[in-house]
Chain A
Amino acid sequence: MKPRTGRGSTLTVREQVHQALSVLGGPAAPKLISAVHEAFFTGPVLPRRMASLRRDEERSFTAGPYQRPYYICAALTAERLAPGRGLLAVSTWPLERRIVGPLGPRTDFLTAAVHVAQQVKRIVSCGEEPSEPAWQLLRRYASNIPGATGPRDRERPEPGRVRRAALAELAVHEAADRADRDRAAGRAREQLTESQRLFGMVVK
């Protein structure tokens, strides 16, 4: 029996995590995944429920590789190609997307800001009102990106402006970050097994 959670959600935890990660477009920690699910879907996902998810997915992959359309897997640290602390990712993303170098946390944050802003904008353009958790999430990004808010839109940041500001800072990091990701991904392809490429190298 697969565990089900959330207010009225009929999806499994892995499906909910997949939904939230698809909005963010990059590796994320359980608390952020929960906040995104609460903002745009059917309520929070208890981080406790995500605790064993990566391990369960790895077991399932080892038992029969690629039996599922996607796996919730790890982000890999650029230095050691080990699973990034507490980070979840989706197996269908390019390997480069799952690499976390020194600039990775920042660029993943900015990429997520772009996607969250787009999501809020989509809701607004459909003539609907985004939920309070959605505004809260957008504020969390807007308040930490230079130029993302003006003096009058701190409470309800303008999504287009947040997106432009995030893209502007992303452009600053892009070259250095891409080089880190490409290098590490190249190493991972050479050195790691298929399972390690998804779930990281663990020194025992």
Chain B
Amino acid sequence: MTTGQEQESGSAGRLAAVRGAAAPQGFSARKIAALLDNPECGRRKLLDAAGVDKRVLADRVGYPSLFGQSPFAIARAAAFAEIVRRDGFAELIRLLRDTLNFSLAEAGVADLADPAIAAAATADGLSAQEARHRETVALLRDAALGTQPIAVFGSPVLALSIGGVPAYLEPDAIVHREGGRFTVVGIKAFPVIDGQAPAASLTAAVKQQAVYQIALRRNLADALGDDADSVADEVVLVCPENYSNRPIAVIHNAKQQADAIALLLDRLGGVDRLVADLPAAADFDLSDDGAGAARRSPGELATALESVGARYLPTCRANCDLAGFCRGEAERAGSPALLGPDVRDALPGIMSIDDALTLINDETDPSPDQAEAVAHLRRAARLRRESLSRTEGVA
């Protein structure tokens, strides 16, 4: 595991320079899951690692982000989480007894968002998150060793290295059975109606919990030297039941998602190379100079963005604040990626849709690295012509 100190000596100094004077934005499980949807995108990787606020950046370069949760949805989520947390997690404890067979005695609670934890550790020179992480690991270890009877860890802080950059993640809760396993719990405000959760929300939520699961496994392995079977493959999602505010638990096996994400995480190249390749003058400083004027003009920011390779996919529009900018760039270049990853992957060496169309009709021989793609294109064009003429013949 990478610690804060190592971060300072590594690429973090340069990453901080890339971000400039603006306050850093932390990683979240949602961000990591989105990053892993498109792990080859250097632009997103670099901006996330440097903690640049992509939403503000997108706005500044003229592509305001269209998504983001409505304030009503955020308020509703907060109100529901409050119901699950109140009275010492009484609702969650009821659900754990009903679904995971917790015994009556397993009702100990630890609140890792207690400001006293952070306050006590700032004296030791740690950040609030580092302090809460240290406390989380200590309590998890005690629970695993059976010395402290805690069943519910509220707002724990886990650490995970993302492409060499340490990230602190905050699951809603982790629960533990005495002599048993740890389970990650997510509190989600989408309703489960007649036992059915909306598929898209469920997938996103499970993916997010899978990221926590990986972090939890790795943190426990670091603390105890052995993670065999200590974390359950299942995750618990606590959602409102039907149209009420009464919490209900949905248990979902996240093994497949966790395995896939762990693999991607390990393959995620370091950000060092991306930082090194960045032109010396380029940065993404979104701060102002104190007199209300922005340090970087929209043009400078756009040039800096263009100097880092992106990998636009149509699905980016659901996952990334910068998708509008990248889509505009892909449109100007007429990139085959606009038509989706299948088309892009079928056309190696062909940089634009116009090039593809020219090559279909062009009788000249393509360059060797384009030969295979052009053969595919010409065959597809022939099949299309044949099929169209047949339809016309029938008509």
Contacts from A to B (Cβ < 8 Å): 29, 31-32, 77, 80, 82-85, 102-106, 108-109, 140, 143-144, 146, 169, 172-173, 176, 202-204
Contact = CB atoms under 8 A, between A and B. Distances in A.
Contacts of B111: 85
Nearest to A204: B119
Contact of B114 (A82, A103, A146): A82
B148 A102 contact: yes
Interface string B132-155: 000000000000000011100000
A32 B120 contact: no
A147 B101 CA distance: 15
B284 interface: no
Nearest to A105: B88
B105 A173 contact: yes
Contact of B87 (A105, A169, A176): A105
A109 B114 contact: no
15 contacts: A31-B82, A77-B114, A80-B117, A82-B114, A85-B111, A85-B115, A103-B108, A105-B109, A106-B90, A106-B108, A140-B87, A176-B105, A202-B116, A203-B119, A203-B122
Contacts of B120: 80, 82, 203
Closest 4 CB pairs of A and B: A105-B88, A82-B116, A102-B108, A106-B107
A104 B150 CA distance: 11
A31 B86 contact: yes
A112 to B, nearest CB: 8
Nearest to B98: A146
B94 A144 contact: yes
A84 B117 CA distance: 11
Contacts of B105: 172-173, 176
B267 to A, nearest CB: 40
Contact of A176 (B82, B119, B149): B149
A174 B124 CA distance: 36
A85 B113 contact: yes
A103 B107 contact: yes
Contacts of A140: 87
B107 A173 contact: yes
A106 B122 CA distance: 30
B200 interface: no
Interface in B242-289: 246
B173 to A, nearest CB: 13
B363 to A, nearest CB: 76
B91 interface: yes
Interface string B348-374: 000000000000000000000000000
Residue of A77, A108, A202, A203 with most partner-chain B CB within 10 A: A203
A84 B86 CA distance: 14
B197 interface: no
Given A32-B86, A203-B120, 13 more contacts: A31-B82, A82-B120, A85-B111, A85-B115, A102-B109, A103-B109, A109-B87, A143-B246, A144-B94, A146-B104, A176-B149, A203-B122, A204-B119
